[in-house]
């Protein structure tokens, strides 16, 4: 059973589908589920493999799984199998504790372009648990060992198809700025950044505005890209962008930690 569950979990991961794994970590008294029983739940909270108890116990686990998938945090729940009102509604005479953990796919970073900034950002993002796709005719695999995929035959950037929550960084040296941004803005990408001079960025955004994108759409584009850390070199610029991606992903504030009040 656990082998089948693990196989399905790997399949969901490869398909970039979120799921939650529930494990019974403690049983006191009578319970149909035993310690180490496991269940895999999909993004809707439905059990797709395994078992950690039926009835309301399963319902409580499903509700917790949905919360974990939303927050990205693990959770331990205590289920009173003897309390029909406040517990699981299953008078079995026991209790059990269930550990629920979200199994989320790595965020996807679409890197459009080539060069030192792209190469450094690809490495940084990989170390930060992003799956990286690089799209550029001049992208070299030996310069991008951390890339999950390299696309070289997409001159019109038609293979740029960000899913909801994906990250897009455009460094196409002007040639693909408009096409890439158009596709990114037509998606539900979480983060869109354009590496370009302020003048070039303004020209591209003005053109997109004339093409029908509203102010709210254009405000999604971060340009200049990255955090203000005084970056000069390609590696420093890549670091500032990676930092902004982490800030977006984790909900940070971006200020110095030393200035935060104690206890926060």
Please give the pLDDT value at position 86: 42
CA angle 129, 131, 132 (to 5 degrees): 125
Residue 61: HSE in the Cβ half-sphere, 13 Å Cα cutoff: 33
Please give the pLDDT value at position 171: 95
Please give the pLDDT value at position 91: 53
pLDDT in tens, 43-86: 999 999 998 887 778 889 999 999 999 999 999 999 887 655 44
Of the pLDDT bands very low, low, confident and very high (cuts 50, 70, 90), residue 226 is very high
Sequence-ordered alpha helix ranges (H) in the chain: 2-14, 55-71, 116-127, 177-185, 198-210, 215-218, 234-250
Mean pLDDT of 81-105: 72
Higher pLDDT, 191 or 261: 191
Residue limits of CATH 3.40.50.720 in the chain: 108-250
Sequence-ordered alpha helix ranges (H) in 15-164: 55-71, 116-127
Report the range of poorest mean pLDDT among 88-97, 154-163, 239-248. Answer: 88-97
Find out whether 218 and 254 touch, Cβ atoms under 8 Å. no
* Alpha carbon distance, N-terminus to C-terminus of the chain: 43
Is it the case that residue 164 has pLDDT exceeding 50?
Answer: yes
Please give the pLDDT value at position 92: 54
Mean pLDDT of 153-171: 93
Question: Residue 217's closest CA among 185, 192, 187?
Answer: 185
Find out whether 194 and 221 touch, Cβ atoms under 8 Å. yes
Mean pLDDT of 133-144: 95
Please give the pLDDT value at position 2: 67
Q: Which two tokens stand for residue 34?
A: 């035993």
Mean pLDDT of 141-163: 94
Mean pLDDT of 15-24: 94
Of the candidate CATH numbers 3.40.1800.10, 3.40.50.10310, 3.40.50.150, 3.40.50.720, the domain formed by 108-250 belongs to 3.40.50.720
Mean pLDDT of 109-130: 97
Is it the case that residue 160 has pLDDT exceeding 90?
Answer: yes
Q: SS3 of 248, please?
A: helix
Q: Which two tokens stand for residue 135?
A: 């799209």
Is it the case that residue 144 has pLDDT exceeding 70?
Answer: yes
The secondary structure of 29-72 as a DSSP string is E--SS-TT-EEEE-TTS-EEEE-S-SHHHHHHHHHHHHHHHHH-
Question: Residue 39's closest CA among 17, 54, 56?
Answer: 54
CB atoms within 10 A of CB 131: 18
Of the pLDDT bands very low, low, confident and very high (cuts 50, 70, 90), residue 14 is confident
Omega before 41 within 30 of 0, i.e. cis: no
Please give the pLDDT value at position 28: 86
Please give the pLDDT value at position 134: 97
Q: Residue 178 to residues 78, 161, 215, 229: CA-CA distances in angstroms?
A: 53, 15, 16, 27
Is it the case that residue 179 has pLDDT exceeding 70?
Answer: yes
pLDDT in tens, 119-129: 999 999 999 99
Please give the pLDDT value at position 85: 47
Strands 131-135 and 47-50: unpaired
């Amino acid at each position: 059973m656990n082998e089948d569950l693990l196989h399905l979990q790997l399949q969901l991961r490869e398909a970039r589908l979120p799921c939650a794994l529930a494990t019974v970590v403690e049983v006191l008294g009578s319970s149909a589920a035993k310690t180490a029983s496991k269940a895999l739940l999909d993004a809707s909270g439905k059990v797709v493999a395994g078992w950690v108890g039926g009835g309301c116990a399963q319902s409580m686990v499903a509700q917790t799984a949905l919360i974990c998938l939303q927050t990205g945090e693990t959770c331990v729940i205590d289920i009173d199998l003897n309390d029909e009102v406040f517990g699981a509604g299953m008078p079995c005479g026991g209790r059990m504790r269930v550990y629920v953990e979200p199994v989320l796919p790595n965020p996807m970073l679409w890197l459009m372009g080539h060069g030192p900034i792209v190469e450094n950002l690809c490495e940084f993002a990989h170390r930060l648990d992003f799956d990286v796709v690089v799209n550029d005719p001049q992208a070299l695999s030996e310069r991008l060992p951390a890339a999950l995929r390299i696309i070289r035959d997409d001159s019109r950037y038609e293979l740029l198809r960000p899913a909801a929550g994906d990250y897009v960084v455009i460094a196409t040296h002007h040639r693909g700025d408009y096409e890439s941004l158009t596709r990114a803005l037509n998606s539900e990408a979480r983060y869109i950044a354009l590496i370009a001079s302020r003048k070039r960025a303004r020209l591209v955004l003005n053109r997109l505005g004339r093409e029908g994108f509203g102010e709210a759409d254009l405000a999604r584009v971060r340009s200049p890209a990255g955090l203000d850390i005084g970056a000069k070199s390609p590696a420093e610029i890549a670091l500032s962008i990676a930092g902004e991606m982490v800030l977006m992903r984790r909900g940070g504030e971006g200020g110095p930690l030393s200035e935060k009040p104690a206890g926060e």
